[in-house]
A = this chain, B = another copy of it.
Amino acid sequence: MRKFEDPETLRSWARKARLAGKKIALVPTMGALHEGHLSLIAAAKKKGADEIVVSVFVNPTQFGPKEDYAQYPRDHVADAKKCVQAGATAIFFPTPANMYADDHSTWVIEDGALSGSLCGARRPGHFRGVCTVVAKLFNVVQPDFAVFGQKDFQQATIIRRMVRDLSFGVEIVVAPIVREATGLALSSRNAYLSADEKVRALALSATLKDLKAGVAAKGKLVWKTARARAVSALEKAGLRVDYVEAVDAENLKPVKTLKAGSAVLLAVFDGKTRLIDNCLV
């Protein structure tokens, strides 16, 4: 497996691979890799990529000033080992300095149609940072396709929109959420949880399961009622609700009836840790 720190070296390598007719996949991550990330690499492999580039970059521009940029887990040695085992052929560990000039001033923004709600409403600038860094990675690697996790549902929707709107020649693949046997969605931020908090966190997936079961049984649910029940279950478990929303899975617009084609998105604070989860109905 090749390791790169400098974008220009990665660019030349990817260019050669492309000219040699190789199919290139990109898996953008912030590192602290877990089985969820490795499933993205597996998806790239399954789709027939000849070269699988995993980027590992805790992107400063997508963190708010009061968020966890400084303490976000970083472990390049462990990440590189996991990438090799999962079948990645290149890993990209850029530094903030080689991704952003001191006078960086160009940004990719989504104007709010998709990013004005949910996490976008609670994390100002977050999706500006995400779109900008993903655009940069696309430009450096010029992959045939890129794999994102459904765990970050809003992000995947916004990236798909970015690709369409800015005419990127990159196919977006979204891989399903990977969960522990308990139902807890894998997240690098689970590392912040105490044992007690980890138990409380189970209410996220349990709530989603309950909503899906409700729709499966009745065909649809009035969201107002279903939402009240969900909020109550999360609060009873000891979580502080950030949002509980049902949206159209394509355009993220709120729906009044939960049915096939809807998505439910949750964000809670579990102690000091913010956790998200979602499901397609």
Q: How would you classify the secondary structure of chain A's contact residues: helix, strand, loop or mixed?
A: mixed
Please tell me which one of the listed residues B15, B105, B113 contacts residue A161 in the complex, with CB atoms under 8 A apart.
B105
In this assembly, does A167 line the interface, its C-beta being within 8 Å of a C-beta of chain B? yes
Q: In the assembly, how many copies of this chain are there?
A: 2
Please tell me which one of the listed residues B106, B111, B161 contacts residue A131 in the complex, with CB atoms under 8 A apart.
B106
Given A7-B167, A167-B136, are A108 and B108 neighbors across the interface (CB < 8 Å)? yes
- A113 surroundings in chain B (CB, below 8 A): 103, 105
Identity of the chain B residue whose Cβ is nearest the Cβ of A112 in the assembled complex? B105
Q: Are B166 and A139 in contact (CB under 8 A)?
A: yes
- A142 surroundings in chain B (CB, below 8 A): 142, 169
In this assembly, does A97 line the interface, its C-beta being within 8 Å of a C-beta of chain B? no
In this assembly, does A47 line the interface, its C-beta being within 8 Å of a C-beta of chain B? no
Interface size on A, residues (CB 8 A): 37
Given A19-B19, A21-B19, are A166 and B108 neighbors across the interface (CB < 8 Å)? yes
- A162 surroundings in chain B (CB, below 8 A): 106
- A105 surroundings in chain B (CB, below 8 A): 110-114, 161, 165
Report the bound CA distance from A79 to B103 in whole Å: 39
State the 8 A-B residue pairs at the shortest beta-carbon distance, nearest first: A106-B165, A105-B113, A136-B167, A139-B167, A106-B162, A105-B111, A140-B167, A139-B168
